[in-house]
Amino acid sequence: MANQKQIPLAVAGLIVIIVVALFFVIKQAMPKRYRPPKVDWTCEACGHQFIAPSVTSPTECPKCGKKEAVRSTYYECEKCGTVFEVYRSKMPPLPASTEGSEDIPPEMMMEMEGLIKKPDGEWVKEMSEEGRKITSELACPECGNNDRKALKYSPPTKK
Ligand SMILES: [Zn+2]
Ligand SMILES: [Zn+2]
């Protein structure tokens, strides 16, 4: 009698193992969906600051609706705890041929050089001398700390 009960149990166990294995096989075979990380944004038109997935910048501001929201990058000073905005960045306007399309061909993205500026400065090319200065010459506005090791990127959720 004991054997008759054990057999269905073994079958059930085997089915569970097969189902679990199939689940992992199917999961592996499915194309992985890319989920862009969330980043800080600032609308250059109305000043609204918000957190949203990292997409092509400039993007539409959820407050005023203008397509002038750009990426904001914040750093935290580990000496005094101040979180400050270091720079804003965006892609240059697209050539007229791609107007209206949301998806920019990757090869075009590769060729385009981003624009960067200090929060109150002028837009310059990311790889230009002025552009590189913005990302390399960091200093805390509160305590003046400019030790790069004591200044670190501040993720959007921390503010
Ligand atoms: Zn706005
Ligand atoms: Zn500081």
> Would you say the pTM of this structure is higher than 0.85?
no
Q: From the CA of 157, how far away is ligand 2's center (Å)?
A: 20
Look at 154 and 31; give whichever has higher pLDDT. 154
Alpha helices by DSSP H, listed for 30-151, are: 106-111, 129-136
Residue whose C-alpha is closest to residue 103's, from 7, 16, 34, 14? 34
pLDDT in tens, 108-134: 666 778 999 999 999 999 999 999 999
The tokens describing 80, both together, are 């005094």
Residues 51 and 39: beta-carbon distance below 8 Å: yes
pLDDT in tens, 69-102: 999 999 999 999 999 999 999 988 766 665 556 6
Strands 151-153 and 69-77: antiparallel
What pLDDT shows up at residue 24?
84
Judged by its nearest atom, the ligand closest to the C-alpha of residue 61 is 1
Judged by its nearest atom, the ligand closest to the C-alpha of residue 75 is 2
Radius of gyration of the chain (CA): 25
Pairwise CA distance, residues 37 & 123, whole Å: 24
Q: From the CA of 59, how far away is ligand 2's center (Å)?
A: 31
Q: From the CA of 113, how far away is ligand 1's center (Å)?
A: 24
Residue 43 Cα distances to 4, 83, 105, angstroms: 71, 19, 25
Each domain of the chain, given as residue ranges in start order, spans 38-92+110-158
